[in-house]
Chain A
Amino acid sequence: MTSTTPQPNQPTSVPVLRRILVYGAFLALGIMVVGAIVGGLVAGVSGVVSALVGTLMAVVFMGITAGSILLANRFAGTEAAIGAFFGIVMGGWLLKFVVFLALMFLLRGQPWIQPVVLLLSIIAGVVGSLVVDVVVVMKSRMPYASDVTLPKAPSDG
């Protein structure tokens, strides 16, 4: 349920996306704890580190999309709203994948990384954040025509 009303200038998606980010952070903590325990049992210290790094990567990179939409919504109502929105969201997407590729290049072959644990925790983080997204969106209530400002009633005077 959407409890907080958005600012008059902002689209109704803002509270939903904010909640997605917050719940995603909680989920990340949970997956990190479980992953670190399992990774530690399976592969020792490198397993713990890999689980932490993998989960953090998955959740942060998945969260950048919601974050970029939230950032772009600050331009709502201005002249450059549409251009800024898609520029920021798509630019963020591109940047995210460049950083992700660079991180994978850096992490590959590091002695303190256990590849299988890293991969499994990335997959767990990605799937987990998808579940959070779907649950939050399903539970959110958004009015159909909310981003419209009605004209003022004509005064009788």
Chain B
Amino acid sequence: MDATTVLAAISGNIATVGYGLAAIGPAIGVGIVVGKTIEGVARQPELAGRLQVLMYIGIAFTEALAFIGIAVGFIFV
């Protein structure tokens, strides 16, 4: 039995997996950013404003990856 018979045949476009991969990283990243912001605000509620801005910057950089990743996946399929 050769390798092609052992492995199941995959039909469709492998780039579909890329959409999922492009979502996983930023999802984890944004989860960490928001979770840490909650921790910070819980410790020092008077810093909420500053922490919100820092959280915003963190989310913006993380989601930029997601946008570019998803767009690249769609465009080059």
Give A residues with C-beta under 8 Å from B: 6, 11-14, 16-17, 20, 58, 61-62, 65-66, 69, 73, 76, 82, 86, 89-90, 93, 97, 100-101, 104-105, 108, 115-116, 118-119, 122-123, 126-127, 129-130, 133-134, 137, 140, 142, 144-148
Q: Which B residue sits closest to A133, measured CB to CB? A: B60
**Which residues from chain B sit less than 8 Å from chain A, CB to CB?**
19, 23, 30, 34, 38, 41, 45-50, 52-53, 56-57, 59-61, 63-64, 66-68, 70-72, 74-77
Q: A147 to B48, Cβ gap below 8 A?
A: yes
Shortest B74–chain A CB gap in Å is 4
Residues B74 and A108 in contact, CB atoms below 8 Å apart: yes
Instruction: Report the separation of the CA atoms of residues A115 and B77 in the bound assembly, to the nearest whole angstrom.
Output: 10
Residues of A within 8 A of B50 (CB): 12-13, 142, 144
B66 to chain A, nearest CB (A): 7
